[in-house]
Amino acid sequence: DPLVLRSLLVLRALTHGETGGIVAAPTASLPEELGGVRNWDYRFVWLRDAALTIEVAVAHGLTEGACLWRDWLLRAVAGDADDVKIMYGVGGERELDEKELDHLDGYEGSRPVRIGNGAADQYQADVVGEVMIALG
């Protein structure tokens, strides 16, 4: 199916070549609506997305991609399950402090321009389960 193939190619294109981390989006601070304030930085690996990507890769026989993403995931969540974050930097960074860049106008004047993501400190109860399913 051409649509599935295209989607798989997009997932591969979102993958960091050295670390295997797959970002949710390659952009920072594109607005949800022009002129709006909901401008987030999604250049991070969200565990739920990574887990679902692994499942999709395995289902479509993309063993190499699945292994690359799995290896990243295992490195990121190594340690105490209580310390697992919902998202990481592509190199496994845990500190993703959100900052506003007031000196930038933003896309089509949409402000604020943000880098980092404050959602990194959120608790989402399903994340460890999603990871376990993907690695199961």
User: How distant, in Å, are the alpha carbons of 3, 90, 95, 105 from that of 113?
Assistant: 33, 21, 19, 7
Establish how many alpha carbons lie within 13 A of residue 128's alpha carbon, considering only the half-sphere containing its beta carbon: 9
Diameter over CA atoms, the chain: 46
What pLDDT does residue 82 have?
84
Q: How confident is the model at residue 119 (pLDDT cuts 50, 70, 90)?
A: very high
Q: How confident is the model at residue 136 (pLDDT cuts 50, 70, 90)?
A: confident
Contact call for residues 15 and 97 (beta carbons, < 8 A): no
The 10s digit of each residue's pLDDT in 93-113 is 999 999 999 999 999 999 999
| DSSP annotation of 22 | B
The 10s digit of each residue's pLDDT in 15-62 is 999 999 999 999 998 899 998 899 999 999 999 999 999 999 999 999
The 10s digit of each residue's pLDDT in 57-97 is 999 999 888 999 999 999 999 988 888 999 999 999 999 99
What pLDDT does residue 80 have?
85
What pLDDT does residue 89 have?
96
Amino acid at 121: D
